[in-house]
Amino acid sequence: MKGAALVLAVLSAAALAAPALAFPAPAGERFREANDLVRAGDYPKAMGLYQELAASGPESASLYWNWAQAAAARGAQGEALWALLRARELDPGDRAVVRDVERLREALNLDPAEIAPEPLAAAARFARRLRLDLLAAGLLALSVLTHLLARAVPGALRARPTAWAAFVAGLAVAAVPIAGSFARPTAAVVRRGAPLVDAASPSAEAVGALREGEVVPVLQASGDWLRVEDNAGARGWAHAEDVRRLDGPPPTAPRD
């Protein structure tokens, strides 16, 4: 609990100081309203507003950063970790988010592997952070232009080694985002004791329970249910409100 209290203190000090979102009105007003609710201590209502904003767009790391603060203050550590992980997906270069992910992981007593089950997902974040897709496209375009120059301009044959070097470099750089695109989608367990059941149905039999904050690969989706695999290798179905995906905004669902 001390670790969780430390994380809450860090988030409380920093989250509401995050830059204001570039929301068009009236979304910007609703974002400010949610922040005011957090300051007033009405965390459930603030989280509901953050969820509506995330589902309707636009998303940003700042939105999820503030959502994490409200969730942590409410005691929903799994949801707070999910919000920070979603912020990291949107802005992999935000060092403050990365630091708070680690703090909250430690507070929940999770191993690093329990929040990173897909190694290729890290490659995808690295590619987004450095915009490797644009760099690869630029290198390949340079290769094509240099080849054309070598053919069209007499005496420019010496440019061909440069053209081939740019081509090889472009392929090497492109390999990173391409590899990242093969990562399986993942989701974070946002509720303590979330049941793992044997079918995508409210009446299905429980076969286990998922660990709060754990990130699990998503194997299949069926309506409001996700088929997942936990860190121990157990497979089953979990409700999408208990296990939230990291590759998109949450559904608009009423909160309890």
| Per-residue pLDDT tens digits for 7-29 | 444 444 444 444 444 455 567 88
CB-CB contact of 167 with 110 (8 Å): no
Residue ranges per domain, the chain?
Answer: 2-109, 126-180, 186-245
> Residue holding tokens 């060092």?
95
Which CATH class name applies to 186-245? mainly beta
pLDDT digits (tens, 9 = 90+) for 73-99: 999 999 999 999 999 999 999 999 999
This prediction's pTM: 0.83
Is it true that domain 2-109 has CATH number 1.25.40.10? yes
Query: For the chain, what percent of residues have pLDDT higher than 90?
Result: 75
Kindly calculate the radius of gyration of the chain based on its CA atoms and give it in whole angstroms.
Answer: 22
Instruction: Quick: pLDDT tens for 100-138.
Output: 999 999 999 999 999 999 999 999 999 999 999 999 999
Q: Is 213 left (phi over 0), alpha (psi -120 to 50) or beta?
A: left
